[in-house]
Structure 1
Amino acid sequence: MSEDDPQVWSGVEAPLPEIASVGLMAFDPIYAEEAHVNRAAEILHVVAGSVKVHMPGGPVSAGPGDTLLVPSASSHRDEFDLEEGLEVFYCAFRWEAEEDYFRAVPPQSLERLSPACRSQIAGLADLLRADLAQGREMDQLVARSRILTLLMLIYRDLVPPAGEGQEAPTAYGEVRRHELMSRARQYIQQHYARCVSLDEIAEALHVSGYYLSHVFSAESDFTLFSYLTSVRMERAKALLLAGVLKVSEIARAVGYRSPNYFSKVFRRHFGCSPRDFVASHRP
C-alpha cells in the first residue's frame, strides 16, 4: 500500500475492533503536565471541559460534544484547564485495520468533521455508554459494532471517494479476500460433519456473515454453502465406495441429520441416489 496515497483503504474489509477499556473518565492533571504513550488506540468524546491534544502531526482541539482519535503508541499530552477539569467518554481499542485507517484519517483531520457527522458520533457515544453499562456478552458485541460504525462515519465524512479516472489500488483487499476464502474453506473442511451455520463460520473468522457470504460469492463461482455441500458430497462418495457404513450412518457422518434429505442432496449433486451410486461402482 502506498505511503503517498491516503485513500487506498476502503474500509470494506475492516474487522470489529477489540475493546481494551472503556468508561467515563475525569482526566488526571498529570496527563496535562507530561507526555504519555498509549498502548491501544483511543476514542475521546469530550463530555465537559476543553482539551488540546499535542501529538505527532500537530495539536488537535476539542470541546464538549467533540470527538478525538489517538493512534496507539502515540506520545501525546492532553492540555486542559486544571481548575475546570476535563471529563471524557473514553474507549481504548485494538484494531487490525488501525494502521491503514489512520493513514487515511489522520487525527488532525477530525477538526473538519461536518456538523451532521459530529451529531451522529455524539449519539453513538451515548449509545456506547448504555451498551457497556449492561455488561452482557451481546452488549459487548453491539458496542464493538458501534465503535466500528463510529470510525466508518468519520472515514466516510472525511475521505472522498475515488474520482473519475482515479482507481483505488485493490491489491491489499484482494490479498485479504483470498486469505479469508482460504480460511473459510479450511474451516468447512474441518467442521463439515456438524450442522455448520454461516454465523458460526463468520464468528470463527472474525467477520460479519454478510461480508463472508459476499466475498465467497464474489471470489468464486459458487456460494459458501455450495462449497460446504460439495465437501460433504465428496466425503460421502468416498464413504460409500469404502462400503463400510450404511447410508444413514454416512448421512450423519457428513453433517445431515435426516438420511432422506441427505439422499435428496446426493441425487441433486451426482444425478443418482446413494444406493444407485454404489450399485454402479460395484466390480
Structure 2
Amino acid sequence: MTKHPQRPAFISRQVTDGDYFFLDIKTRKPSVLTVACGGLERCAPQYDVQREGFRYYALEFVLSGRGEYTVGSQTHPLRAGSVYAYGPGVTHRIRSTDRNGMVKYFVDFHGPTAKRLIHDSPLQSSNPMQLGRTRWVEMIFDMMIATGNEPKQAALMQSRHLLNVLIMRLATDSASLTSDTSSSYETFVKCRQYIQTHHAQLQTIEEVAQACHVDRAYLSRLIKRYAHEGAYQYLVRLKMQHAAERLVKDKQSIQESALAVGYDDAALFSKVFKRIHGISPRGFVATIGR
C-alpha cells in the first residue's frame, strides 16, 4: 500500500507540504468504523477551504499557527492546541489567518458508529476545544500516519483502535480542556514555534530562551507542563523527527540527515536517533523503504 498515492479531490491543494495516508477511500458504507484517510498538512498562508458538507466525519488538530473555523453562522478562532470536528451535512469553512500558515493533523472516518462516536464525545459541540498538553495527541496522530506503511487489514484495525483511543482520551481530559488564554500558554506557543523553525541550528534550550526573551528555567517548566516531556528531550525529539523525514522522503544519506539537524558526528547522530525512535537510521530506512 502506498503512502502517497494521487490525492483525491477532497484533499486541499492549498498546502505547501503534506504527509498523508489513504486506507479506504473507495468503500461508501463500511460495515464497521473505518478510518478512510488522514495526515499532517502544512497549510499555505492563503489556505481557505469552504464546504457545503463532507463525505466523512473528520477530526482536526492544530499543531501550530492560527486560523478560523466557521460552522453555520459562527466563527471560532483556531490556534495551536485547537481540536474540532465536523461531519456529513455540516457547512463549514477552515482558513488560515497566519502569515506562515497553519500546520494541522486530520483524520477522516465513517461507518455505522462514526456519528455516535462524535456525539458521545466532547467534540459534539461546534466549538473547538483547546488542549493544554498536546504531546499525546501528536503521538497518536503520528502512529496513525505510520499505519500507512502496514498491510491494509492490519492498518485498518490499528487505525480504528487509535481513533478510539484518541476520542476516549479527549473525553477523559475534557474537564481540563479550557480556552486557555493565559500568558504562560502563549509564551509556550511562541517558543515552540521558534524551536520548530530553527531546530536544525539549535543545540541547547538556553539558545531558545535567549531568542524568545524568557528565563531558561521558566521555559523548561512550560515545556514540561504543556509538551509533557523535558525541554532538551523535546528539542532532540523534534530534530530526530525531521531527520527521519529527510531519510525517507528526501532520500538523504545518514551523513546528510545528520548534518541537516546539527550533528557533525554521524555515529553520535545514529546513537541519538536509535534512542528516540528505537531503531537505527539504517534500520529505519530498511523498514520504511525507499
* TM-score, normalised with respect to structure 2: 0.41
More helix by share: 1
More strand by share: 2
* TM-score, normalised with respect to structure 1: 0.42
Structure having the higher Rg: 1
